[in-house]
């Protein structure tokens, strides 16, 4: 009996959360489309501006929004990407050195 109640609570909260997410997404879509059609605004909801000295994130949703400096985050992501690419390249070099690997090619 307790298992059925727990399952019912889970599915009710899951469905409610899903409905709220869909409601917010619908409101944002309607806001964007009405601004585009009614006022001729073609400004995107989320925009990332990259210049040589800084990177900024601009969000404008439902008449509110702001702009944030994300230069440090951008540099961190670029460093992480460089590390991942280097690791993949070094892994390929190591795999090419294994004699069994050449037999399967």
Residue 56's H or E segment, with its range, is: strand 55-61
Are both 60 and 10 inside the same structural domain? no
| Percent of the chain with pLDDT strictly greater than 70 | 93
Are both 7 and 19 inside the same structural domain? yes
CA distances from 44 to 13, 31, 39, 65, 84 (A): 32, 12, 14, 12, 31
Tokens 């944030």 map to which residue?
68
- Better pLDDT: 103 or 15: 15
CA angle (36, 74, 25) in 5-degree steps: 35
Q: Provide the domain limits for residue 19.
A: 1-42
Which tens digits make up the pLDDT trace of 45-82? 888 888 888 999 998 887 788 899 999 999 999 999 99
How many residues does this entry show for the chain?
105
Residue 21's H or E segment, with its range, is: helix 2-39
46 close to 57: Cβ distance less than 8 angstroms: yes
pLDDT value for 103: 57
For the chain, the domain total comes to 2
Are both 49 and 88 inside the same structural domain? yes
Are both 59 and 32 inside the same structural domain? no
Q: 4-13, 49-58, 74-83, 96-105: which has the minimum mean pLDDT?
A: 96-105
């Amino acid at each position: 009996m307790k298992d059925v109640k727990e399952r019912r609570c889970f599915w009710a909260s899951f469905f409610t959360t899903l409905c709220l997410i869909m409601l917010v997404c619908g409101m944002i879509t309607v806001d964007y489309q009405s601004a585009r059609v009614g006022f001729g605004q073609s400004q995107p909801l989320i925009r990332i501006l990259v210049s040589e000295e800084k990177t900024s994130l601009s969000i404008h949703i439902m008449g509110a929004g702001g702009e944030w400096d994300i230069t440090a985050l951008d540099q961190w992501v670029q460093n992480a990407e460089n590390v991942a690419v280097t690791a993949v390249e070094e892994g390929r070099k190591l795999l090419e050195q294994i004699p069994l690997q050449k037999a399967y090619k």
